[in-house]
Amino acid sequence: MAMVDVRNVTKVYRKDAEELVVLNGLSLQVNEGDYAALMGPSGSGKSTLLNLIAGIDKPTSGDVVVAGTNVAQLGETQLAAFRSHNVGFIFQFYNLIPVLSATENVELPLLLTHLSKAQRRERALTALKVVGLADRASHYPRQLSGGQEQRVAIARAIVTDPKVLVADEPTGDLDAKSATEILDLLGTLNQEFKKTIVMVTHDPRAAERAKTQHHLEKGVLKD
């Protein structure tokens, strides 16, 4: 069953009288439990496609059905709720909140739930344990290495048990060793925890870890 079903999607950016077509009638399916890599040169539209799947942007035309919901038809508030329940986003530059500890960063998505403080804390610590950082729970981002920060970011992405994990260049800012650790973790999340993962990457070694690879060029799939 398709967890992600992108149907004939077009995304056009307009600036004054100029139009920039970033995605041009693109269709893509990612099955449940799949680990898909989106690759392509800079400007090919892969990050734009990822944003549509994550629900942080809407297509100009076409449908984007994720976990059975057509995000293209949702309003802003509905999209926010959709993201909080269904999507875990992993950024290239981690984007942790610097004034919050690792645990507090991981807890952030849980503030949108009805869980008690103790329950939020327990789930955050569990997520940190999954990514192997339980001993760094009280550390602040400035006290963590790049790889550790990305692992905290992954913990934040999985703490709400989302249906889909989207990762935008998750190893782009890491050294080789840290990148390998992150890719190992993503692999574990896919194989052991059956998470559906859609990852944008330039890194061939990262793409090799994925089960399926899709190539974009000038807004269309070249598979």
Partner 1 sequence: MKYLPYLLKHLRRNWFRTTLTVLAMALCIFLFCTLQSVLAQINALLDSTSAKRLVVRNSVSIVFDVPLAYGARIQSVPGVERVAISNWFGGSLPAKKEGKGDAGTDSSTTDWSNFFNNLAVEMEPFLAMYPEYQLPPDQYRALMADQRGCVIGRKLANKFGWKIGDTFFLESFIPVHRKPDGPFEFVVRAIFDVDPVKYSGTDQNMMLFHQKYLYEATGRTLQAGTYYVEIRDPDQAGQVSAAIDKLFENSDHQTRTETEKAFAAGFIAMAGNLALLLNGIGIAVAFTILLVVANTMSIAVRERRKEIGVLKTLGFTSGQVMGLVVAESLLIGLIGGALGIAGSRTIMFLLTHAPGLKDMLAGIGLSELPLRPMVAAIGFGVAIVLGFAAGFVPALSAYRARITDMLRTV
> Near partner 1 by CB under 8 A, which window of 77-85, 127-135, 181-189, 214-222?
77-85
How many angstroms separate the CA atoms of 97 and 133, rounded? 17
Q: Which of 2, 74, 81, 220 is in the footprint of partner 1 by CB under 8 A?
A: 81
Verify binding: residue 192, partner 1, rule CB under 8 A: no
Residue type, 34: D
Q: What angle is formed at CA 9 by the lines to CA 8 and CA 14, rounded to 5 degrees?
A: 140
DSSP SS3 for 84: helix
Q: Which of 1, 14, 15, 98 is in the footprint of partner 1 by CB under 8 A?
A: 98
> Kind of pairing, strands 196-200 and 35-39?
parallel
Of the residues 6, 35, 49, 51, which one makes contact with partner 1 according to CB under 8 A: 51
Binding segment (CB under 8 A) for partner 1, from list 62-70, 88-96, 198-206, 211-219: 88-96
Of the candidates 34, 18, 35, the one whose C-alpha atom is nearest the C-alpha of residue 207 is: 35
Cα R_g (the chain), whole angstroms:
17
In whole angstroms, the minimum distance from the beta carbon of 81 to partner 1 comes to 7
* Interface characters, 136-175, with partner 1 (x: CB under 8 A): --------------------x-------------------
Residue 118 lies near partner 1 (rule: CB under 8 A): no
Alpha helices in 55-175 (DSSP H): 76-86, 102-107, 117-130, 146-158
Sketch the per residue contact string, 8 through 47, with partner 1: x for CB under 8 A, - otherwise.
Answer: ----------------------------------------
Query: CB burial class (10 A; 0-12, 13-18, 19+) of residue 80?
Result: middle
- Contact positions vs partner 1 (CB under 8 A): 51, 54, 56-57, 76-77, 80-85, 89, 91, 95, 97-100, 104, 108-109, 111-112, 117, 156
